[in-house]
A and B are shown apart, each in its own frame.
Chain A
Amino acid sequence: MSLTMATEAPYFELPGVDGRDHSLDDYVEIPVLAIVWSCNHCPYVQGWEARMKAIQRDYGDRGFRLVAISSNDAASHPADSFDEMKARAESQDFNFDYLYDEDQSVARRYGPERTPEVFLFDADRRLVYHGAIDDNRDEDAVGQHYLRDAIEALLEGREPPARETPPVGCTVKWKQ
């Protein structure tokens, strides 16, 4: 079951594709933090990756960070192994942290069902938005920019206009 609105972000400490470990505490100075469940193999994720990079680029110097986490079982989906994650981050020139939740313990605490799926936290690390990045997998057909609108609102001291939207994407690949 996913986190409910206003819940505090569960702690995590996970290895990143950059060779470092990253914990929730590393982002304590960041006012607006998006944790996005992601992976390599999913066409929905791949379709949204450029938008994830653009959001990090557009808001990174205004107090925002995007952190992607993959919890997928690499035994059933080898394209989602840690080595493949490192390769994809390099080939796609990711400008955000990409972390590997190999034992899926962090995913069990947050409760994502899809990739990509956004959990957006305010400066107190309370959940303020959960769901999709925007309303269309086709970048040219996007009408509602849920995540961008929520980030803008938080940075301006307002409530996000949407609190929950249905994430669209591949299922998280749980270990059997």
Chain B
Amino acid sequence: MTVEFLYWEGCPSYPEARELLEEVLRGRGVDVPIQVREVRTQEEARELGFPGSPTIRVDGRDVDPGGESEPPSLSCRIYHLPNGRVSPVPTREQIEEALR
């Protein structure tokens, strides 16, 4: 299993998202290194298909496939919550679902 964590320093949500990811991995007993990559330029965002920060992929699959098609961008990513609100970080359930 590969777990990738892509982030852009300009959005303040990535520490919270990374902490959540680590917590979920620990909770499920998944012992794999997180491949962390900082996206620094718009060109890198295009090359990596980075739809915003943070982006988490498990075996290449985005934890929020619905948001994957957003244009590559150095910006904060929007995650839509089940209650209709939005969040700058994915939900625990989204990460857990991607790990199944």
Whether B87 contacts A42 by the Cβ 8 Å rule is no
User: How many A residues are at the interface, by size bracket?
Assistant: 10 to 19
0 or 1 for each of B63-83: is its CB under 8 Å from A? (1 = yes): 000000001011111110000
> How far does the alpha carbon of A139 sit from the alpha carbon of B85 in the complex, in Å?
10
**Is the C-beta of B33 less than 8 angstroms from some C-beta in chain A?**
no
User: How many B residues are at the interface, by size bracket?
Assistant: 10 to 19
- Which residue in chain A gives the minimum CB-CB distance to B53? A170
Whether A170 contacts B42 by the Cβ 8 Å rule is no
Decide yes or no: A43 and B73 within 8 Å by CB, A76-B42, A171-B10 being known contacts. Answer: no
* A residues near B13, Cβ cutoff 8 Å: 43
- Contact with A43, one of B10, B74, B87 (Cβ below 8 angstroms): B87
**Is the C-beta of A41 less than 8 angstroms from some C-beta in chain B?**
yes
Q: A42-B75, A77-B75 are in contact. List 17 more A-B contacts (CB 8 A).
A: A41-B78, A42-B76, A43-B76, A43-B79, A43-B86, A43-B88, A44-B88, A47-B85, A47-B87, A47-B88, A76-B42, A168-B12, A170-B11, A170-B75, A171-B10, A171-B11, A173-B75
Q: What residues make up the interface of B, taking CB atoms closer than 8 Å to A?
A: 10-13, 42, 71, 73-79, 85-88
